Amino acid sequence: MAIDEGTENITVTKSDRCTRAEFIVDDQDGVVLIFSRQRTYILGGEVKHRLDLPVTRRALTQIAAQQFVINAQLTITGTQFMQIVNKVGDILRQEDIA
């Protein structure tokens, strides 16, 4: 038989955080992979539970024409986004080589 110790109310905060994003860019088609994790916190910031969520995957062909609005100030397509990622990658790589 279980011993009843009463009940207690605690504050729980759930948050969904993007933990990692991968961009695979080549001449044919790019891929965006987003890995998310859900964490449950209790008062004081202690992580009580962690759950890895299904990976979000999109090929560039799926999002090429889709428009993304960022902070209500900038609108870019999936193609433009992947071009930016590719260009930034090239710039950073050149810095590393130098």
- Model pLDDT, residue 43: 64
The residue ranking higher by pLDDT, 29 or 63, is 63
In a domain, 7, yes or no: no
In a domain, 5, yes or no: no
Q: What is the pTM of this model?
A: 0.65
In a domain, 72, yes or no: yes
C-alpha atoms less than 13 angstroms from C-alpha of 24 in its C-beta half-sphere: 10
In a domain, 48, yes or no: yes
Distance CA 98, CA 94 (A): 6
In a domain, 2, yes or no: no
Inform me whether the pLDDT recorded for 14 exceeds 70. Answer: no
In a domain, 44, yes or no: yes
- Model pLDDT, residue 3: 74
Instruction: Report which DSSP code applies to 91.
Output: H
Confidence of residue 96 (pLDDT cuts 50, 70, 90): very high
- Model pLDDT, residue 82: 87
In a domain, 87, yes or no: yes
Domain extent at residue 93: 12-97
In a domain, 59, yes or no: yes
Span of 32-36, 38-42, 87-91 with lowest mean pLDDT = 38-42
Report the number of distinct structural domains present in the chain.
1
